[in-house]
Amino acid sequence: MEVANLKPSLAWKLNHVGLSPMHLALQHKCTKMVRGLITINSQLIRVKAKGMITPLHYLAQTEDPDLLAELLSACPSSIEDTTIHCETAAHVAIKNCSIRCFKVLLGWLRRVNKEDILNWKDEDGNTALHIAISTNQTEVVKLLVKHANVNVKNFNDLTAMDIFHLQGSLQNTEIGKILNKAKAKKASDLTSNMTLGDYLSKELTLIDKRDKYFGINIQNNPNDNRTVILVVAILIATATYQAGLSPPAGYWQDDYKPPANNGTTNNTHNSSLGDGQRQHRAGQMIMSPADLFYFLAVNGSAFHLSVWTILVIIIGLPFSRAVYISTWLLLQAYYSSMTATFPTQGSVALTVGRFLYITFTVISAGVAYMIPRRAFCNHQKLKRRVDTMRGSSVLTRPEN
């Protein structure tokens, strides 16, 4: 420990058989030394020994889930390291039937939102699910089908279901039931023939354009356009929603209907108070029809456009579905408010205008809500079709 502290670079050196001090400490079960080296530099967990095996890979094949969890917590990025055979720690744990360690890895991937690593392929194109099925590990398969793509093909164009049927007499019927429940298919039953080249040849989708212009999914990107636009859109939505609830001229405080006999009825006080007024009801907007249509058209357009912008930006983010539902309820509240306060008494033009405006409001709300959601669903469907063909190959992984 003193040497490692005085000369940190020595902790990264490999000996004549390709092992680092961390690897040697693990081999000799010197847990105290392992923890000590981590305190000096947690990146030592990513030192690659012979075969590009890191300390995390070594622990994944042993039954020491507690120390494995400590290494993951000390260096989260180590979960992305692969061996010379393109194997992740999940591959190693499953191949060595280390179920306890695999559960730790799976729990970590779920907590850091990196379940996609379960779809990474080794040198033969096999994902963690392919290996679990070929080794008849029922418990692991049951866990994997909840988080991995069950229809990814390996480099022999075999899906998980194909591997299961190729086992012949060694088939585990329980695994077959799990795959059927997860809607796993044979390669011959898949309708997708799209390759990565086909996907890249297509025009950018709405989500692709959003990611491009806002700099989303670009590592270490300082672009904060997305945040700025989101804040501005929220301010506009707030202002226009409030303006819709509080129109400039306010609301009528009473009901008034012009007398049919020019003011000679018994409602003399209503006639005098309503002299020069148009027919109205309490709670309806006071603005003149021309000003009312202009105000609501402009204000409503700004409101729905800002809501649409918010929905486009947030889609795909964690808890975006909850925000979508909340925004939909907000649109419904805006629609209900306009319906309740729009004048219903007056000329035929006002009645027709009210109908047209309400129709416009409903259509705008539907467009603002459905277009981003449909675009995202189509984008995800397109990506799944490509992933079914290639999975998450080494070409698509982040550099270690």
What confidence tens digit (pLDDT) does each residue in 21-67 have?
999 999 999 999 999 999 989 999 999 999 999 999 999 988 889 99
Choice among 169-183, 318-332, 379-393 with the minimum mean pLDDT: 379-393
Total Cβ atoms within 10 A of residue 220: 4
Tell me what pLDDT residue 52 has.
Answer: 93
User: Which stretch, 130-139, 206-215, 228-237, 338-347, has highest mean pLDDT?
Assistant: 130-139
Q: Is the pLDDT of residue 345 over 70?
A: no
Tell me what pLDDT residue 214 has.
Answer: 66
Instruction: Give yes or no: residues 241 and 165 share one domain.
Output: no
Tell me what pLDDT residue 188 has.
Answer: 83
In a domain, 35, yes or no: yes
Convert the pLDDT of each residue in 64-92 to its tens digit: 899 999 999 999 999 999 999 999 999 99
Cα–chain-centroid distance for residue 83? 29
Instruction: Give yes or no: residues 246 and 384 share one domain.
Output: yes
CA-nearest of 24, 108, 116, 118 to 74 is 108
In a domain, 129, yes or no: yes
In a domain, 307, yes or no: yes
Distance CA 91, CA 57 (A): 9
In a domain, 275, yes or no: no
Instruction: Give yes or no: residues 299 and 358 share one domain.
Output: yes
Q: What is the DSSP string of 206-260?
A: HHHHHHHHHTTT-TT----HHHHHHHHHHHHHHHHHHHHHS-TT-B-SS-B---T
Tell me what pLDDT residue 341 has.
Answer: 81
Choice among 191-200, 207-216, 259-268 with the minimum mean pLDDT: 259-268
Instruction: Give yes or no: residues 41 and 178 share one domain.
Output: yes
Choice among 1-15, 63-77, 105-119, 329-343 with the minimum mean pLDDT: 329-343
Instruction: Give yes or no: residues 170 and 75 share one domain.
Output: yes
Q: Is the pLDDT of residue 119 over 50?
A: yes
Q: How confident is the model at residue 384 (pLDDT cuts 50, 70, 90)?
A: low
Instruction: Give yes or no: residues 11 and 122 share one domain.
Output: yes
Distance CA 38, CA 213 (A): 40
What average pLDDT does the structure give for the chain? 81
Beta bridge partners of residue 256, listed in sequence order: 280
Choice among 84-88, 195-199, 241-245 with the minimum mean pLDDT: 195-199
Instruction: Give yes or no: residues 155 and 238 share one domain.
Output: no
In a domain, 65, yes or no: yes
The two structure tokens encoding residue 154: 């390996």
pTM exceeds 0.95? no
The count of structural domains within the chain is 2
Tell me what pLDDT residue 397 has.
Answer: 54
Q: Is the pLDDT of residue 138 over 60?
A: yes
Instruction: Give yes or no: residues 154 and 238 share one domain.
Output: no
Question: Looking at residues 315-335, what average pLDDT do you find?
Answer: 79
Instruction: Give yes or no: residues 7 and 111 share one domain.
Output: yes
Instruction: Give yes or no: residues 181 and 67 share one domain.
Output: yes
Domain interval for residue 369: 225-250+285-390
CA-nearest of 143, 131, 203 to 178 is 143
In a domain, 257, yes or no: no
Distance CA 360, CA 354 (A): 10
The two structure tokens encoding residue 371: 């277009």
Question: Looking at residues 294-312, what average pLDDT do you find?
Answer: 84
Beta bridge partners of residue 285, listed in sequence order: 251
Q: How confident is the model at residue 103 (pLDDT cuts 50, 70, 90)?
A: very high
Instruction: Give yes or no: residues 111 and 179 share one domain.
Output: yes
Q: Is the pLDDT of residue 170 over 90?
A: no
Question: Looking at residues 94-100, what average pLDDT do you find?
Answer: 93
Q: How confident is the model at residue 399 (pLDDT cuts 50, 70, 90)?
A: very low
Tell me what pLDDT residue 28 has.
Answer: 92
| Residue where one domain finishes, among candidates 142, 171, 191 | 191
Q: Is the pLDDT of residue 109 over 90?
A: yes
Instruction: Give yes or no: residues 32 and 76 share one domain.
Output: yes
| Residue where one domain finishes, among candidates 166, 191, 216 | 191
In a domain, 274, yes or no: no
Tell me what pLDDT residue 224 has.
Answer: 59
Helix/strand/coil (H/E/C) assignment for every residue in 306-366: HHHHHHHHHCCCCCHHHHHHHHHHHHHHHHHHHHHHCCCCCCHHHHHHHHHHHHHHHHHHH
In a domain, 207, yes or no: no
The two structure tokens encoding residue 227: 């945040």
The domain that contains 184 carries what CATH number?
A: 1.25.40.20
